[in-house]
Amino acid sequence: MLFNTSPEKFWNLIAKKYAADPIADRQAYEIKIDKLKTWMKSEMTVLDIGCATGTQCGDIADSVHKVTGIDISSKLLAIAQQRIDERDIRNVEFIETSAFDEQFEPGSFDVVMTFHVLHFFENLDVIVKRIHDLLKPGGVFISETGCLADRSKFLVNTLKIMGAAGLLPRITMLKDQQLQESLQQNGFTIVDRTKYSQQPDNEFTYVAIKS
Ligand SMILES: C[S@@+](CC[C@H](N)C(=O)[O-])C[C@H]1O[C@@H](n2cnc3c(N)ncnc32)[C@H](O)[C@@H]1O
Protein backbone atom coordinates (compact mmCIF):
# COMPACT_ATOMS: atom_id res chain seq x y z
CA MET A 1 0.00 0.00 0.00
CA LEU A 2 1.46 3.37 -1.06
CA PHE A 3 -0.55 5.45 1.38
CA ASN A 4 -2.28 4.30 4.50
CA THR A 5 -5.39 6.44 4.50
CA SER A 6 -7.89 5.31 7.13
CA PRO A 7 -11.54 6.01 6.19
CA GLU A 8 -11.74 8.68 8.93
CA LYS A 9 -8.62 10.40 7.62
CA PHE A 10 -9.85 10.25 4.04
CA TRP A 11 -13.25 11.81 4.81
CA ASN A 12 -11.66 14.45 7.04
CA LEU A 13 -9.21 15.34 4.27
CA ILE A 14 -11.92 15.85 1.67
CA ALA A 15 -14.57 17.30 4.02
CA LYS A 16 -14.43 20.91 2.76
CA LYS A 17 -14.54 19.89 -0.89
CA TYR A 18 -17.32 17.36 -0.22
CA ALA A 19 -19.37 19.99 1.60
CA ALA A 20 -18.95 22.48 -1.26
CA ASP A 21 -20.30 20.09 -3.92
CA PRO A 22 -23.91 20.91 -4.77
CA ILE A 23 -26.65 18.25 -5.00
CA ALA A 24 -26.40 16.95 -8.58
CA ASP A 25 -30.14 17.00 -9.42
CA ARG A 26 -31.88 19.31 -6.92
CA GLN A 27 -35.38 18.80 -8.35
CA ALA A 28 -35.14 14.99 -8.15
CA TYR A 29 -33.70 15.29 -4.64
CA GLU A 30 -36.63 17.37 -3.42
CA ILE A 31 -39.16 14.98 -4.94
CA LYS A 32 -37.36 12.09 -3.22
CA ILE A 33 -37.27 13.77 0.19
CA ASP A 34 -40.99 14.58 -0.04
CA LYS A 35 -41.76 10.96 -0.95
CA LEU A 36 -39.57 9.58 1.86
CA LYS A 37 -41.28 11.84 4.37
CA THR A 38 -44.54 10.01 3.68
CA TRP A 39 -43.01 7.08 5.64
CA MET A 40 -42.37 9.30 8.67
CA LYS A 41 -44.56 10.53 11.53
CA SER A 42 -44.11 13.30 14.09
CA GLU A 43 -43.38 10.89 16.99
CA MET A 44 -40.67 8.93 15.13
CA THR A 45 -36.93 8.72 15.79
CA VAL A 46 -34.51 8.44 12.88
CA LEU A 47 -30.90 7.28 12.62
CA ASP A 48 -28.90 8.49 9.57
CA ILE A 49 -25.73 6.37 9.21
CA GLY A 50 -22.92 8.18 7.36
CA CYS A 51 -24.75 11.51 7.50
CA ALA A 52 -21.71 13.61 6.42
CA THR A 53 -22.84 17.26 6.28
CA GLY A 54 -26.28 16.36 7.62
CA THR A 55 -28.25 17.44 4.54
CA GLN A 56 -30.86 14.68 4.67
CA CYS A 57 -31.04 14.90 8.50
CA GLY A 58 -31.99 18.55 8.24
CA ASP A 59 -34.37 18.06 5.35
CA ILE A 60 -36.53 15.45 7.09
CA ALA A 61 -36.31 16.94 10.60
CA ASP A 62 -39.67 18.75 10.40
CA SER A 63 -41.47 15.42 9.84
CA VAL A 64 -40.18 13.50 12.88
CA HIS A 65 -39.51 13.80 16.60
CA LYS A 66 -35.74 13.38 16.54
CA VAL A 67 -32.93 12.66 14.06
CA THR A 68 -29.55 11.23 15.08
CA GLY A 69 -26.89 11.60 12.40
CA ILE A 70 -23.74 9.54 12.84
CA ASP A 71 -20.50 9.62 10.90
CA ILE A 72 -16.85 8.68 11.34
CA SER A 73 -15.60 12.08 10.14
CA SER A 74 -15.32 14.79 12.79
CA LYS A 75 -14.73 17.43 10.11
CA LEU A 76 -17.91 16.58 8.19
CA LEU A 77 -19.88 16.50 11.45
CA ALA A 78 -18.58 19.96 12.39
CA ILE A 79 -19.93 21.28 9.07
CA ALA A 80 -23.20 19.40 9.68
CA GLN A 81 -23.61 21.00 13.12
CA GLN A 82 -22.89 24.47 11.74
CA ARG A 83 -25.47 24.03 8.96
CA ILE A 84 -28.14 22.72 11.36
CA ASP A 85 -27.50 25.66 13.70
CA GLU A 86 -27.77 28.11 10.78
CA ARG A 87 -31.14 26.58 9.88
CA ASP A 88 -32.18 26.78 13.55
CA ILE A 89 -33.21 23.12 13.56
CA ARG A 90 -33.37 21.84 17.15
CA ASN A 91 -34.26 18.13 16.86
CA VAL A 92 -31.12 16.87 15.10
CA GLU A 93 -28.06 15.60 16.97
CA PHE A 94 -24.76 14.48 15.47
CA ILE A 95 -22.48 11.85 16.99
CA GLU A 96 -19.03 10.82 15.79
CA THR A 97 -19.39 7.06 15.94
CA SER A 98 -20.23 3.90 14.01
CA ALA A 99 -23.47 2.00 13.54
CA PHE A 100 -22.14 -0.73 15.84
CA ASP A 101 -21.78 1.60 18.84
CA GLU A 102 -23.40 -0.18 21.81
CA GLN A 103 -25.06 3.05 22.95
CA PHE A 104 -27.63 2.30 20.22
CA GLU A 105 -29.89 -0.37 21.64
CA PRO A 106 -31.77 -2.94 19.57
CA GLY A 107 -35.22 -1.77 18.54
CA SER A 108 -34.54 1.89 19.28
CA PHE A 109 -35.30 3.61 15.94
CA ASP A 110 -38.40 3.92 13.78
CA VAL A 111 -36.40 4.76 10.67
CA VAL A 112 -32.78 4.10 9.65
CA MET A 113 -31.39 5.89 6.59
CA THR A 114 -28.17 5.18 4.68
CA PHE A 115 -27.43 7.38 1.70
CA HIS A 116 -24.33 6.45 -0.33
CA VAL A 117 -22.65 4.61 2.51
CA LEU A 118 -23.43 0.86 2.50
CA HIS A 119 -20.64 0.21 -0.01
CA PHE A 120 -18.11 1.44 2.54
CA PHE A 121 -18.93 -1.47 4.83
CA GLU A 122 -16.87 -4.60 4.33
CA ASN A 123 -19.77 -7.01 4.68
CA LEU A 124 -23.20 -5.99 3.41
CA ASP A 125 -25.11 -8.66 5.37
CA VAL A 126 -23.48 -7.63 8.66
CA ILE A 127 -24.54 -3.98 8.33
CA VAL A 128 -28.01 -4.88 7.00
CA LYS A 129 -28.50 -7.23 10.00
CA ARG A 130 -27.35 -4.49 12.37
CA ILE A 131 -29.82 -2.03 10.85
CA HIS A 132 -32.59 -4.64 11.19
CA ASP A 133 -31.60 -5.03 14.84
CA LEU A 134 -31.64 -1.27 15.48
CA LEU A 135 -35.15 -0.84 14.07
CA LYS A 136 -38.38 -1.28 15.98
CA PRO A 137 -40.76 -3.96 14.64
CA GLY A 138 -42.31 -2.53 11.47
CA GLY A 139 -39.48 0.02 11.26
CA VAL A 140 -38.45 1.57 7.96
CA PHE A 141 -35.05 1.23 6.31
CA ILE A 142 -34.31 3.80 3.59
CA SER A 143 -31.22 3.17 1.50
CA GLU A 144 -29.60 4.55 -1.60
CA THR A 145 -26.20 3.14 -2.34
CA GLY A 146 -23.58 2.81 -5.03
CA CYS A 147 -23.83 -0.59 -6.70
CA LEU A 148 -20.49 -0.25 -8.40
CA ALA A 149 -20.21 -3.84 -9.60
CA ASP A 150 -23.07 -2.98 -12.00
CA ARG A 151 -20.96 -0.18 -13.55
CA SER A 152 -18.19 -0.23 -16.15
CA LYS A 153 -15.23 -2.56 -15.64
CA PHE A 154 -12.92 0.42 -16.13
CA LEU A 155 -14.46 2.27 -13.17
CA VAL A 156 -14.40 -0.83 -10.98
CA ASN A 157 -10.74 -1.53 -11.79
CA THR A 158 -9.73 2.10 -11.25
CA LEU A 159 -11.42 2.13 -7.83
CA LYS A 160 -9.78 -1.17 -6.93
CA ILE A 161 -6.32 0.14 -7.87
CA MET A 162 -6.88 3.38 -5.92
CA GLY A 163 -8.14 1.35 -2.96
CA ALA A 164 -5.15 -1.00 -3.08
CA ALA A 165 -2.84 2.03 -3.19
CA GLY A 166 -4.54 3.41 -0.11
CA LEU A 167 -5.82 6.50 -1.94
CA LEU A 168 -9.46 5.67 -1.25
CA PRO A 169 -11.22 3.98 1.65
CA ARG A 170 -12.16 0.36 1.03
CA ILE A 171 -15.15 0.10 -1.28
CA THR A 172 -17.23 -3.07 -1.55
CA MET A 173 -18.32 -3.62 -5.14
CA LEU A 174 -22.03 -4.32 -4.66
CA LYS A 175 -24.61 -5.40 -7.19
CA ASP A 176 -28.18 -4.11 -7.05
CA GLN A 177 -29.41 -7.72 -7.08
CA GLN A 178 -27.15 -8.52 -4.11
CA LEU A 179 -28.59 -5.58 -2.18
CA GLN A 180 -32.14 -6.78 -2.81
CA GLU A 181 -31.25 -10.31 -1.70
CA SER A 182 -29.48 -9.07 1.41
CA LEU A 183 -32.53 -7.02 2.42
CA GLN A 184 -34.88 -9.95 1.88
CA GLN A 185 -32.65 -12.54 3.55
CA ASN A 186 -32.12 -10.34 6.59
CA GLY A 187 -35.74 -9.78 7.45
CA PHE A 188 -36.89 -6.87 5.29
CA THR A 189 -39.74 -6.54 2.84
CA ILE A 190 -38.94 -4.14 0.02
CA VAL A 191 -41.93 -1.83 -0.46
CA ASP A 192 -40.44 0.74 -2.83
CA ARG A 193 -37.53 0.85 -5.27
CA THR A 194 -37.35 4.09 -7.23
CA LYS A 195 -34.76 5.90 -9.33
CA TYR A 196 -35.55 9.57 -8.75
CA SER A 197 -33.01 11.16 -11.10
CA GLN A 198 -32.52 10.31 -14.74
CA GLN A 199 -28.89 11.37 -14.55
CA PRO A 200 -26.47 8.61 -15.54
CA ASP A 201 -25.32 6.33 -12.72
CA ASN A 202 -28.10 7.44 -10.40
CA GLU A 203 -28.96 4.79 -7.83
CA PHE A 204 -32.22 3.21 -6.75
CA THR A 205 -33.67 4.45 -3.48
CA TYR A 206 -35.06 1.53 -1.47
CA VAL A 207 -37.68 1.59 1.22
CA ALA A 208 -37.78 -1.68 3.15
CA ILE A 209 -39.87 -2.61 6.18
CA LYS A 210 -38.62 -4.73 9.08
CA SER A 211 -40.83 -7.80 9.02
C1 LIG B 1 -20.47 9.44 0.13
S2 LIG B 1 -20.64 10.09 1.75
C3 LIG B 1 -22.42 10.16 1.88
C4 LIG B 1 -22.88 11.21 2.81
C5 LIG B 1 -24.38 11.44 2.92
N6 LIG B 1 -25.06 10.28 3.47
C7 LIG B 1 -24.97 11.84 1.60
O8 LIG B 1 -25.61 11.04 0.94
O9 LIG B 1 -24.77 12.98 1.21
C10 LIG B 1 -20.23 8.74 2.77
C11 LIG B 1 -20.21 9.09 4.24
O12 LIG B 1 -20.15 7.90 4.99
C13 LIG B 1 -19.26 8.09 6.07
N14 LIG B 1 -18.80 6.76 6.47
C15 LIG B 1 -17.95 5.94 5.82
N16 LIG B 1 -17.81 4.79 6.48
C17 LIG B 1 -18.60 4.88 7.59
C18 LIG B 1 -18.90 4.02 8.68
N19 LIG B 1 -18.33 2.82 8.79
N20 LIG B 1 -19.76 4.45 9.61
C21 LIG B 1 -20.33 5.67 9.53
N22 LIG B 1 -20.10 6.53 8.53
C23 LIG B 1 -19.24 6.14 7.57
C24 LIG B 1 -18.19 9.00 5.54
O25 LIG B 1 -17.50 9.67 6.57
C26 LIG B 1 -19.01 9.94 4.67
O27 LIG B 1 -19.47 11.03 5.40
Q: With pLDDT > 70 as the criterion, what percentage of the chain qualifies?
A: 98
pLDDT at position 147: 86
Longest dimension (CA), the chain: 49
Mean pLDDT over 69-73 rounds to 98
Work out the average pLDDT over 77-86: 98
Q: How far apart are CA 179 and CA 155, in angstroms?
A: 20
Asked if residue 145 has its Cβ within 6 Å of ligand 1, the reply is no
Cα separation of 67 and 103, whole Å?
Answer: 15
Does 26 have pLDDT greater than 80?
Answer: yes
Instruction: Write out pLDDT tens, residues 115-164.
Output: 999 999 999 999 999 999 999 999 999 999 988 888 878 888 888 888 77
What the chain holds in terms of domains, given with CATH numbers, is 7-210 (3.40.50.150)
pLDDT of res. 4: 63
Centre of ligand 1 to C-alpha 71, Å, is: 6
Residues 1-20 pLDDT 10s: 555 678 999 999 999 999 99
What was the pLDDT predicted at 128? 98
- Over residues 102-116, the mean pLDDT reads 98
Tell me which residue has its CA closest to atom 8 in ligand 1: 115
Confidence bin at 170 (pLDDT 50/70/90): confident
* Atom 27, ligand 1: residue with shortest CA distance: 52
Q: Which of 55-59, 87-91, 163-167 has the lowest mean pLDDT?
A: 163-167
In DSSP notation, the chain reads ------HHHHHHHTHHHHHHSPPTTHHHHHHHHHHHHTT--TT-EEEEET-TT-HHHHHHGGGSSEEEEEES-HHHHHHHHHHHHHTT--SEEEEE--TT-TTS-TT-EEEEEEES-GGGSS-HHHHHHHHHHHEEEEEEEEEE---GGGS-HHHHHHHHHHHHTTSS-------HHHHHHHHHHTTEEEEEEE----STTPPPEEEEEE-
